[in-house]
Structures are given as structure tokens and as C-alpha cells.
Structure 1
Amino acid sequence: MSAVLKHSRPIWLLVAMCCIATLVFFLFDAALDIPFIDDYNALLDFIIQYLRADSIEEKLHFIFRQHNEHRIVYARLVVLLDYYVFGCTNLRHLILMGSASLFLMTGIFCVEAYKSCKNILAIVPIILLSLHFQHMGSLLWATSSLQNLAVIALACVAIWLMTRSNVFINCIGIVFAFLTTFASGTGPMIWPVLFLIAITSRSMAKCLVTLLSGTASVSLYFYSYHLPTSGNTSISENLVKMPQAILGVIGGTFDIQEEGTQLIPIIAGFMVISTFNFCLGRTGLRALRRDPGSLFLVGVFLFGLLSAIAISFGRGSYVENRYKVISTLCLLATYNMVLLQLSRRHMDLCLNLISMACLSLWLVFFWRYYPEMLEYKTVRKADYLSLKNSPQDLLTPFQQRMNALEELGVKSPDNPLIQNTFLSSMQRDNVSLPSLKILKRKHKYAVKWQGDPGLPEESYLVLRSEKGSFVFPVRKELNQFSASILYDWLQKGRYTVSVYLPDQTSFISIQDTIVVDKNVKPWLSSTWFNDAYAP
């Protein structure tokens, strides 16, 4: 039995490497240089206003400027790094740099796991629990990866450095804690954690430096801070929902439906917290002072818990995909704490069983999120084509930003191949869609058709008028293709309907028209930063 378990190590390591390679392959393949939602206001608007600023004071203002409830200084520093190194604001670069945060966090936990049990197999569950497809929504969104993933990774680095005994390393940890503070809305939660770590060290100087640095950082964070008023629920309602929201965030890894109020993540969150506390009780608080690794685990788990409390207070919800990384952080800390309780005698057997469970979870995530990941590129391409070709005024909010970047000498996010392919495609009148069905209602238009071996899977629904086009992604379920749109998404005009096939550079006409009798406001505001705060 022991021989079998011993020979399982290279197999599990190969499985882990394959999982990493799979994630990295799709990450590089799906990362596009196309802005998405907050990328405009948080990143593009920032670099435009920063370069337009005349004084250092103004430039610092835009770096520290509030974005919704967050201060995203770290994300903006990465944007500046990309600009000064490459002379552009390339969203693909930013996505990859932001995604590195998840790999950094994984690496730190792998090091701590191996140090605690001296068994290479211990790193396999960490890889399977962190580098999976559930995080694709954040990985492939520049603002989210530079904010939600980065704040966790920076916090891990800061806590790891502060648990060391070397004074110089502790000073570097303070610097990372400052970056953590200004990485996201949950960033200031790093300071209570570091202060508790300083107390356990019984060093008056360390406590004093941490207290002063934390006070200065948090004061700067909340200087001229504006409480967001756009939430759908009041603070009192959020307080009532706080317990279930906290547990839901901690157990969010197990919420694959991501809609409504699910009981499973709440139960999972309770079990994660209970397991961690049980292991902590067996380890003993006194042992934390002698073991930096255990102190690190307590610190990161506490940061995850405080982040969940902040989210429950501000949002009152736990279903958003971007919060999953907090659950991952707490799971990794709990797993590493469990490792400390395993006996050497049964270590290999336990690690094999845990690896099997984690691999099953990784495969469930692949099954659940792989279709969404495949749709990612088509959704982004459709948004991009609509922004480039929509029948609005000549200077749309999108083009306004692109022109501003060009005037400042910054290579703007763009993908000319996508646009050129769209413009050069020709109408095909001799081809029809099999089993085409059209559904027209007062405010909705939908089409469905059956798949055909002669037609490529990547396709888009295109509504054309004399002034331009709107483009929408087509979804595939089994062998059926469908697209559904609301008239509220369209500008006033008369549109002809067709299906765009980029692989065949052609349009297939549906022989139908849509008439929209009122204009709608463009979703991308022409106001810089698109919020209520003074520029």
C-alpha cells in the first residue's frame, strides 16, 4: 500500500501541471485588448486625465481618486507601468499582470504547505483549489484582476513578510500592506491583522510602527471619502443579512449557481470556519508565537473573514463571482491548517484522498464555467463591434476616449482585425439558416435555428441601419443556436437582421426588419469617470 501511495506522487504532480497548463492556455487565448465595463472609467479615464494633468498634485489626485467605494491605486500604478514600459494601455497586458496575483497567492501557500509537512504531494490540493475555471470571470477582466485578485495576493505577501523575524523584511511587509490598503475596498482590513501579528511578536517597536503606518494609511484612504449611494439596499438591511452574507462569501467556492440566496455556500462557510477554529484550537495560541507558518495562516484567514464582513456591510450579497477569491483564500488557509494536524504515518493516504476530492471539485468547475469562458470572447467581440459601429453620434463616448488617447500619444485598446473582418464580410443570399424561428414581442426580439455542419459555431446577430450596426453574441445549447435582444438596447431607426459568420467573412440574411421608435441613452457615459465625484 505504501509503495502504491509513493508512486502516486508523480501522477498527482502531472495532474496538477496539466490543470495549470489548461488554465494558462485558455487565459492567454481568451485575454483580449478590448475594454469591458469598469475598464473605461477605472483605467482608461484615469490614464487620460493623468496625462492631461499639469502638476504633480493633480497627477497624485487621479492616482488616489475614489472609484465607487474603492481606492484602486495599485491598479492605476500597473496601468502607468504598462504605459511607461510599452507606450500603450493594453488591456491584454493588464489582464495577464492582474492574473499573476492568483498564481502568486498559490505559490505562497504551496511553499508553506511543503514547509509544514515536507511532502511534495501537499501542494497538489492547493493548485487544484486555486487555479481553476471558477475565477475566469475575474482573470479575464482587467479591472477585476487588478483589484479583487491583487488585493488578496498583496495581503498574503504583506502578512507572510510580517510574520518573519527579520526587521528589514518586516519593513517591506509594511510597504506591501500600504499597497494592499489602496488595492480595493477591503484593503484597509490588512491593518488589524498586521497589528495582531505585531502583538504576538511582543515587540514594542513593531507594534508602534504597525500602528502608526496603519493609522496613516487608513486616514489617507478615507480622506475626502464619499459613501456610495447607488446600492439597492440600506445599511440596516445589510446588517440584518450580514451573518448569512459573511458565511456565503467564505463558502462561496461551493456556490456554482451564483443566483439568489443559496443555502449551500452558507453551510460551507460555516464548516470552513468551524474546521479552521477546531484546528487552531488543537494547535494552540501559544504555538503561534513560535511558528511563523501557523501565524501566517491565522493572519490570511482573518483577513478573508474581515473582507467578508466588509462586503456584507457594503453589499449585503455574496453571489458575485469576483468574491470567490476570498473563499479560495479561506479554503487554502484551512487546508494548510489541517495539514498541521495530520500524522506523518498517514500523510500520504490523507493527501491522496484530499487530492481526489479537490480534483473532483476542479472538474466540476471546468464543467460549470468552461461554456461561460468560451462565450467570453464572443461577448467581448460583440460589445467591441457595437461600440465601433453603433448608429449614434459621430463622437460616441467610446470614440471620445479613443480619440483622447490618440491625442495624448497613447496606443489605445483596439483589435483592428476584428473590425476589419466585420467590415470586409459579404452578404450571402444563397444560404439559409436551418429550422429558423423568429419570436417578436413588444419589447423583445429572438431568433433560433438548428446547427449545420457547413456553418461555423462562432456567430453573431447583427442589426443594421443606414447609420450603423448593433452586434449581439449568439449562444449555443446542444445543437441549437439562439439570440435574444431587447429593443431598449437599440437606438431609434429601422434595422435589417442578419447573422454574421466571421470565420467565413459573410452575413446570412434573416429577411426580417425591426423598427425602433425611440432613442436610448448609451450605456457608456460621456462624463469622465462616470460617477458623482468631483474630477
Structure 2
Amino acid sequence: MEQLSVLPTKAVAPSLLRRAASLLVAIPLVCFVALLLTYTVNVPWMDDLDAFLNFIVGYTDARTTAEKLDWLLRPNNEHRILIAKLITLGMYDLTGEVNFRWLIFIAFGFLLGILGLFYRVFRSIKLPLLAFAPVPFLLLQPQHYLTSIWAITGLQHQVVVFLTFSAIYLLAGRGRERFAGATVLQLLASLSMSNGLFGWVAGAVVLTLQQHWRRLGVWLAIGIATIIFYFHDFSSPQGNETSFSFFLKYPYLVFSGFFTFTGALFDFFPKYSIFWRSVLPTLAGLVVIPTMLWFLWQMNWETISFRRSGSSGWSSVGRTEDALQKRRYFFTGCYAFLMVNAVIVAFLRPRFGYSVMLVSNYMLYPAVLVVLLYLNGLSEFRVGRTVTQWFRVGMVLSILVWGVSYMRHWPKVSQRRQMLLSFAFDQQHNQVGLGATPGTPFADMARQVINETIKRGMYTYPAEIATLFEPVLRPATRTLPPDPLLKLERIDNEYSTVVQTPNWSPPAATRQAYVVAVSDRWTFLFPTESYFAPGPFFLNRPVPGLRAEVIRGMLHPGTYRIGMLILPGNTQPVRFGKQTITVP
């Protein structure tokens, strides 16, 4: 079989090509690992508190096996998260604590599992390693950072995609053992996040194409039973019943949302208004979906033509065609899973605002879809000039996506780290800060579970809080006189107060800045946004002024002096202006 020829082999030694291919595959992997090591912190955020800390307290306090099983299987919001809880339990049994940084690294292991599964499919095509290089560039980039550096989302989305795709991969082959393994994996996927249930649809598509009617019946029976179990004790429909009325009122938003979501890998302009921001992803979706449909027609028209009467959908041409057939089943099943997921997202989520179609939590799915299309093209073309052209297009697009993603989202990853550390300080010193509003049931739960897990040694705040903030935010800080050089402006809205410093440039060495809100009892920190524009972040340019949003709902009642905390290396890190905020 003729192989992919991207570079002239007479001019370039094969060993040099192999080293170049290995380097290209390694670059996105090394950069992504460095990103995680640098910016992940051991701080829970919002749903993490209930999903991990409240769970481990409840599970360890449970006295019977039935109670422990209930803690493992009970829903958290819209999802059951069995795998996430089992991982948390295993971590606690091994180390005696719950560490969110390590939970994120474990979730990254499932992302590597997805990459490994794609590599296994690629190896069956028997092309040089160089042809695989676009895949890690498309997959290992920070556009989906809210999945990659947030424990709860990482242990949902990445886990479900890996388990579901692995189940489809097993179904695509022959043998009862593979069917049994696929069923177990699909059960785990279903109990790890609600969209794992879509894998039953994908598996049914594969088994139908294979004409395995008996296995299809077993698969559907187990799937239906799993779905009934999954929803039997949900306390409420989570407001999803309003999505139908939203669809009747705005059907065009649901229709366009489907294409925006499926093309969201090309969300290159996140700072634009949502209309202009969504133009390129929507146009990309209008290319991605027809391309996928063309591949589905090509694969399954030939699949049907291969069949003999009464056969199970496998060709008898030989091992090479069997491998092709297996890949076709795999791609078809994965597309089915992703399309059901895209339809559900487009139907249920636009009522929260159209920008949800491009939210980072969901961006793993469009990335995976484009990876599948690229591998599908390699599989179908395989030889000659067409596959070479396909590789070149894939290489250019993947490096473009990777580069734009780092340029746009690397600063956001850094900003999130600063946010989590400052809000962890607020939680530790003010009993509120990790996404809760004082006086709400969630704030009460957060306070109780954080205090209880710290008391039991199950959780410890990161050391950065003590080293960064506590030395400069002593009680004596509250009595500092106003700095006449610090001019603060405030802009009030319904939710928050925006504090900014017009025409004042902090020292060039500054890399972190926070708004400080201080009363006679409480000290709150709010991170600034100013250092996370491309110029200051990448080129270390000074910023013309500082800007931060003080969330009034986080503040306890009282009158707060407003100032700035500038780190590092300043002789006077805390400076106050004359502005105050009063919370009744």
C-alpha cells in the first residue's frame, strides 16, 4: 500500500522525519502539562464543594453499606458522578485528604486516554507518525480550560468522552468479550455524567449497522433500565422544561446554536459581542457538519454494500478491510454520540444566553469532533495525493487553532489561578468566597463543609494564601491613612461595584493586583483584570490603570474602605483611596 508522503524522502532522511514527527507530537503535550503544573491550585470552586468535600464527609460518616452506596450514586445537580466520587474516595484512602490539584491531574489522565485511543485508531491506518501530529495540537490546547483546570468538570466531560469512545471502540470489533467490556464501560459512563446516557444511542447505531440484533436487544434493555434508574430520584427537572417554550419562541437560536456549538473550535474572537463572536464558529459548523455527513454516507454506503445476505456487517476481503470496517463503525458511533450531545446542548442551553454555545466548559466536544473528522479523512483516503493534501490542511489548521487558543486563553488560565487564590483567602478569613452568597443555603453548606474537612484534616488551604496575602493584610492594615496619589473611581450596577484607577500606572514589577475591601471586622480580596490583556501578559507592558469587580453579594453587612493590594516587591503593598462601599 502506498504510504503518506509529505516530505521528499530522498531529500530528508527517514530518521530525521521520525524525530521531527516525535517533536511535533510532543510539543502540545509538554506545553499542556506545563500549563497544568503552573496554574492549577488546590482550591475547590462552586460545585466542587458538594461533589467532593461534602461527599467525603457524608461517605465516611455513613454507617451502613446502603448509606455509602447512596452517597456514591446520589445526583449532584443534573448529574450522577460515580467515577469522580470513586476517584475522590481512592485519593482519600491513599493520602487521607482531598487535593483538588491532584484531582485535576487525574482528570487530565482521561484526556490523555482520549488521545491514546485516537492514536490506537490512527495506528491501524498504517501511516507514518507525522500524519498524527495535528491530533495533539487540536486536542491539547487551553480553549477548554474550564474542563482542564476545574476538578468537577474535568472528572465529568473528560471521563465521559473517554469511557463512551472506549465503549464504541470495543463495540466496533468482534467478540462477546468486547461487547461485555463495552457494556460495562457504557454503564460507568452513564453514571458519571448525564450526557453519558447518549452513548446508548451511539452503541445502538453501531450494533444496527453490524446487524447484531440479539446484542442490540440486550444493549437497549440495559440502556433503558439505566436511564430509568438515572432519573428516578431527581428532585426537580432543573428548569429544562422551559427549553421547549424557548424553542417555540426562538427556533432560529436553537438551529443556529447547533452549528455554532459544533464549529466552536474556531471561536477566535472571544472579546467581540456575541453576535460577531459567533459568526466564525457558525460558519465553521456549516463546514464541519456537511463534511461529517459526507463521511457518514461514504462509510455506511460502502458498509452496506460489503454485506452478504445474513452477514454481520463484516467484509470478507481480508484483514485490511476488516480494520477499515472497524474504524468506520468507530467513527460512526462517535459521531452519533457527539451529534446527540450537540442537539441537546443547542436545545436546552440557549435560554441561559447564546454565549453558552461557546462557553469553555463545553469546548472539548467541538475539538474532539474535528479530530475525528481529520482521522476519518486519513482512514478513507489513506493513499496517494489526496491524503497528503488532507494532512497538510490538518497541520495548518491545527497549529492555527493551537496558537490562537494559547494567545486567547492562556491569560484566562492565569487569571483564574489569581481568582481562586483570592477567593480562597476570602473563604478562609470571611467564611464566604468560593462562589457563594452570604445567607444562602449554598453559602451555609460551603462554610460547614470547608470547616469540617479542615478540622478533620481532609482538606488544607494552599500555602500560597499564607505566603502571598497574610504578611501584608495584617489587622493594622485597616488603619492605614488614605493615599492622596491613589484616585479610585467606582461604577455601581445591580450585582457589583466596578473599582478602577484612572490614569495611574502601578510599578512595572507588578504581576498581581487586587482590590481590597476592609471593614472594622472583615478583609476581602477581589482580583483585577488589568494584567491579563495580551500586551501586559505576554510582553510585560505596564498597564495604564487597574480595574476589578467587587461583588457586593459576597460582602457581609458593614462599611468597607476600598484600596489596592499590589504584589510583589512594593514597599507599600496596600494603599487605600477615599472611596467606601456600604452593604446594608
- Please give the TM-score of this superposition, normalised by the length of structure 2: 0.81
TM-superposed CA distance for 1:433, in Å, is 8.9
TM-superposed CA distance for 1:151, in Å, is 1.1
For the pair 1:272 / 2:312, whether they are aligned, the reply is: no
For the pair 1:242 / 2:265, whether they are aligned, the reply is: no
Alignment match of 2:488 (pick from 438, 449, 452): 438
Does the 8 A contact of 1:79 with 1:94 survive in 2? yes
SS at match of 1:411: coil
The answer for the alignment partner of 1:424 in structure 2 is 471
Alignment match of 1:503 (pick from 568, 573, 581): 568
1:131-190 deviation digits (Å, cap 9, x = unpaired): 111121211100010112211111111111121213223212111100111121211111
Of the structure 1 ranges 164-173 and 118-127, higher mean CA displacement relative to structure 2 is found in 164-173
SS at match of 1:116: coil
For the pair 1:485 / 2:550, whether they are aligned, the reply is: yes
Distance 1:515 1:368, change over 3 A: closer
RMSD value, Cα: 3.0
SS at match of 2:274: coil
Does the 8 A contact of 2:172 with 2:206 survive in 1? yes
Which letter maps to 1:297?
A: F
Alignment match of 1:260 (pick from 274, 282, 301): 274
Aligned residues: 517
Identity %: 21
The answer for the alignment partner of 1:494 in structure 2 is 559
TM-superposed CA distance for 1:497, in Å, is 2.9
1:51-103 deviation digits (Å, cap 9, x = unpaired): 22222222222222222222222222221121122221111111111122222
Distance 1:345 1:231, change over 3 A: closer
TM-superposed CA distance for 1:434, in Å, is 11
The answer for the alignment partner of 2:57 in structure 1 is 48
The answer for the alignment partner of 1:338 in structure 2 is 377
- Please give the TM-score of this superposition, normalised by the length of structure 1: 0.88
The answer for the alignment partner of 2:297 in structure 1 is 281
The answer for the alignment partner of 2:358 in structure 1 is 319
The answer for the alignment partner of 2:411 in structure 1 is 371
Does the 8 A contact of 1:178 with 1:217 survive in 2? yes
Distance 1:213 1:391, change over 3 A: closer
For the pair 1:463 / 2:517, whether they are aligned, the reply is: yes
Alignment match of 1:2 (pick from 2, 8, 26): 8
The answer for the alignment partner of 2:353 in structure 1 is none
The answer for the alignment partner of 1:404 in structure 2 is 452
Query: How do 1:14-413 residues align onto structure 2 when only pairs under 5 Å count?
Result: 14-230=23-239, 234-238=243-247, 240=251, 241-257=253-269, 260-261=274-275, 262-283=278-299, 284-286=302-304, 289=314, 290=322, 291-316=325-350, 317-342=356-381, 344-346=383-385, 347-348=387-388, 350-390=390-430, 397-406=445-454, 409-413=456-460
1:340-393 deviation digits (Å, cap 9, x = unpaired): 233523244542342122111110111111111121210111110111122779
Distance 1:418 1:326, change over 3 A: same
Does the 8 A contact of 1:83 with 1:410 survive in 2? no
TM-superposed CA distance for 1:404, in Å, is 2.1
Which letter maps to 1:412?
A: Y
Of the structure 1 ranges 426-435 and 151-160, higher mean CA displacement relative to structure 2 is found in 426-435
1:1-37 deviation digits (Å, cap 9, x = unpaired): 6235765553343133122111110111211110111
Of the structure 1 ranges 36-45 and 237-246, higher mean CA displacement relative to structure 2 is found in 237-246
Partner Cα distance (2:382, 2:127) in 1 = 12
SS at match of 1:235: helix
TM-superposed CA distance for 1:450, in Å, is 4.5
Of the structure 1 ranges 266-275 and 417-426, higher mean CA displacement relative to structure 2 is found in 417-426
Distance 1:441 1:374, change over 3 A: closer
Partner Cα distance (2:128, 2:484) in 1 = 57
Partner Cα distance (1:184, 1:250) in 2 = 20
Partner Cα distance (2:8, 2:216) in 1 = 48
In structure 2, runs of 5+ residues without a counterpart are 1-6, 307-312, 315-321, 351-355, 433-437, 537-541
Distance 1:514 1:483, change over 3 A: same
Distance 1:265 1:233, change over 3 A: farther
Which letter maps to 1:279?
A: F
Does the 8 A contact of 2:88 with 2:98 survive in 1? yes
Partner Cα distance (2:69, 2:146) in 1 = 30
1:250-300 deviation digits (Å, cap 9, x = unpaired): 112122445635232222223112112212323323357441111101111
1:423-453 deviation digits (Å, cap 9, x = unpaired): 2226899999997441134553412264455
The answer for the alignment partner of 1:533 in structure 2 is none
SS at match of 1:341: helix
Distance 1:515 1:212, change over 3 A: closer
Does the 8 A contact of 1:434 with 1:452 survive in 2? no
1:472-508 deviation digits (Å, cap 9, x = unpaired): 1122244223223254442222223333245348632
SS at match of 1:224: coil
Does the 8 A contact of 1:138 with 1:322 survive in 2? yes
TM-superposed CA distance for 1:209, in Å, is 2.8
Which letter maps to 2:8?
A: S
The answer for the alignment partner of 2:580 in structure 1 is 514
SS at match of 1:67: coil
Partner Cα distance (1:441, 1:136) in 2 = 30
SS at match of 2:461: coil
SS at match of 2:357: coil
Partner Cα distance (1:490, 1:231) in 2 = 32
